[in-house]
Structure 1
């Protein structure tokens, strides 16, 4: 009797077809087609380049694609399809990848933020060479990293979102004494600084380039025009035989059963309207720090947007109206009411 853990002949044939070049070409084209249907303009460009780079890196390897590579490729296609269908979590995942809140682009934006400036003269070169050794006793993290870490700890939206690990310390937690009540060795102090710095970088959400930030703000405010992408019509496929159709349904969905809510376990699809997308963009914008250089204190400062629009507390006044005249009108109306009350 054959063990139930081993794949049957039909499943083995299905996995063998996935390793063929034609199947990989079909999978790549389907994934790139889903990239063109994404509702965000920056996500359409970034995800296309990201998918192409991943496939090129996989094709350059000498070993053949294994089951894990096949699973990763099919999972990427599934995430893009569900994002285009209006599922919140897949769409949020695509937006976080495209805007550098997670994934490879976050590391690229961090590296760009931490790139040191090239000295223009000999004096600047001497100052650069005279800096203390990295993670030594006189070493300090870059000022922009310390300011951004402090802004993270003060922002409750970032801490509650938990898309990155929380920052617990603004300085390396070096104890004054070790277990034997002696001075902490230099090698341990260096390792503590290194681990603290790497964990802090792993938690930071870097600023976004000005061009991408301008597009995001325009999508939220409506100054950048947006409309849902129209999908092309799917060509009718050749009808399968009844036995092949039943076999495919059995392998894909299991035995037939009654109507359940299994399709909505991980959320439900939403219609991609402008109102729905503005809510997604506003939540994303609340996780992007806006840097500004304070020339008075010679340090960086960061501001954050709110995930929801703050309502105005007072109505606006038309141009040419003196605010003092409003208080005079209120005082006259109040005195007139009091006179009428006394007359009664």
Structure 2
């Protein structure tokens, strides 16, 4: 995507930042995260470019936009290097557990924006949202992971009387309901589209195919032929290797086993929700976090098994005196 002159003529290297972001997106070890982060980068640049063409963009705003892009690039780069916190955050963003996509996935659970909510005494929250939140509160795994705020009450905490023993004013009751409703929305973990849920479930259970994207080879940096470099003359000799780079974690080799552990965690935070016609209610199912148990097909040799208990008295369970002396 070509960067227009309104951004490219300034000192900020927008084209280099855009290409670096898209390149890091193609290295992500998750198919859904790869597509989502690439679309997110493209849409963000297009929105900023359109705003710059129509309204113009100030130097300060351009600085903040570029800093936000560099932070995203750092997050993607650390995720591709195998830093677990960064990789987990990218997966949570891609599957809508946090960030912009979570609010987009919340739309089917909320009333249309054209409906004006008065939060008066006759107001009721959406039934689908309340059903999902009650199911979420019963999931111990979701509570232990602490991904979203915990709902302590499924009714607006409106006291019967104020400190003077008088009824609560109408305006205060409305404000309490509004704040409580915002807390509900902030606490909810929405459902995923069926296609993304299927991909996530297959990857978490080890059924889906997966290959690690290949990274582009970096060019080798030529070493200086002399140690009398300008940096050496100004700053002196460089210090030896330290653990500073591992203060925020260490990189891991991205393998299928490592990814399945992260996929299971994301899957445990992702519900499915369908309408059960016979029972006339919502049927909600949450993902799993425990690793699937693999039954070993290896059989123990009978003779080796008997040899393990050779010399043991079957009545007392103690070894014979002959074996003790031999030992």
Is 1:143–1:299's contact at 8 Å kept on the other side of the alignment? no
Write the deviation string for residues 174-202 of structure 1: whole angstroms up to 9, x where unpaired.
Answer: 11111111111111111111110111101
Counterparts of 1:1-344 in structure 2, within 5 Å, are 20-21=11-12, 23-59=13-49, 60-61=51-52, 62-64=57-59, 65-115=61-111, 134-236=118-220, 246=231, 256-309=238-291, 311=293
1:150 to 1:266, Cα distance in 2 relative to 1, 3 A: same
CA distance in 2, matches of 1:276, 1:179: 55
1:297 to 1:20, Cα distance in 2 relative to 1, 3 A: same
CA distance in 2, matches of 1:47, 1:229: 15
1:188 to 1:115, Cα distance in 2 relative to 1, 3 A: closer
SS in 2 for 1:225: coil
- Structure in which a larger fraction of residues adopt helix: 1
CA distance in 2, matches of 1:174, 1:255: 67
CA distance in 2, matches of 1:139, 1:180: 26
Unaligned runs of 5+ in 2: 1-7, 298-327
Is 1:18–1:24's contact at 8 Å kept on the other side of the alignment? no
Q: CA deviation at 1:270?
A: 1.1
Write the deviation string for residues 42-76 of structure 1: whole angstroms up to 9, x where unpaired.
Answer: 11110011112222333324223444333211111
CA distance in 2, matches of 1:312, 1:291: 29
1:237 to 1:26, Cα distance in 2 relative to 1, 3 A: farther
Q: CA RMSD in A?
A: 3.2
CA distance in 2, matches of 1:242, 1:19: 37
Write the deviation string for residues 69-112 of structure 1: whole angstroms up to 9, x where unpaired.
Answer: 33211111111011001110000110011000011100000013
TM-score (norm 1): 0.73
Is 1:149–1:204's contact at 8 Å kept on the other side of the alignment? yes
CA distance in 2, matches of 1:149, 1:267: 34
SS in 2 for 1:29: helix
Q: CA deviation at 1:153?
A: 1.5
Unaligned runs of 5+ in 1: 1-16, 117-128, 316-344
Which residue is 2:320 aligned to? Answer: none
Write the deviation string for residues 229-279 of structure 1: whole angstroms up to 9, x where unpaired.
Answer: 1112224568899898739x97xxx99333321111111111111111111
SS in 2 for 1:302: strand
SS in 2 for 1:291: strand
Aligned length: 280
Is 1:147–1:301's contact at 8 Å kept on the other side of the alignment? no
CA distance in 2, matches of 1:144, 1:33: 40
